[in-house]
Amino acid sequence: MEKHAELFHSLEGNNIYFKSLSVKDVQEIHNYASDQEVSQFIGWNLMSTLEETRRYIEVMLKREAEGTHLYSSVVEKHTDAVIGTAMIFNFDNKANNAEVGYVLNKHHWGKGYGRELVALMSNFAFSSLQLHKLHAILVDANIGSARILEKNQYELEGRLKDHYFIENTYYDALLFGKILTSESSFC
């Protein structure tokens, strides 16, 4: 997995590139990890302090070192600022699939970065990891994330009613998936 991690950390698109997750970037990561609007639907707890964010980065680095997750910081090319985190995890070696996740600083929403980072991860999962399928599970209220997946030809495969309970409200979980083949379109 170490070789794959190095490749994952070096992915590059037109507007963004990936780099290794680092505690050195704690402030930039904290900028979105501590934002209620950003963290509401991503599965991370809201980070209140830089120390909390630093500890969570260390947890992610430990998971990657153990080979259970791949994480990269997403960097905007023209500013070299860390604007998000991309991840591939929940690997199922028998079924040859995994889950994708991502989070972006809200100041970078709607600029095509989400679409580009999912395309980079999908291409990497097919060409380097040789996975058969990727999937993502998200809160149905996370409309922006659903659009990103749809623009990358992920299909809505299912809905789990009242699966999440967030701030005293039930939300459905949406399951998106994409079979990765040589005919797949990677935006």
Cα–Cα distance between 31 and 57 in angstroms, integer?
13
Q: What is the enclosing helix (H) or strand (E) of 58?
A: helix 50-66
Residue in the structure block whose two tokens are 């972006």: 104
CATH of the domain at 162: 3.40.630.30
Cα–Cα distance between 97 and 178 in angstroms, integer?
10
Residue 116 binned pLDDT confidence (cut-offs 50, 70, 90): very high
Q: pLDDT, tens digit, for every residue of 77-102?
A: 999 999 999 999 999 999 999 999 99
Q: pLDDT, tens digit, for every residue of 172-182?
A: 999 999 999 76
pLDDT at residue 106, rounded to an integer: 96
Task: Output the CA torsion sign for 22, 53, 66, 19.
Answer: negative
Q: Is 185 among the domain residues? A: no
Q: Is 162 among the domain residues? A: yes
Q: Is 187 among the domain residues? A: no
pLDDT at residue 78, rounded to an integer: 96
How many domains are contained in the chain?
A: 1
Q: Is 26 among the domain residues? A: yes
Residue 24: domain span: 2-179
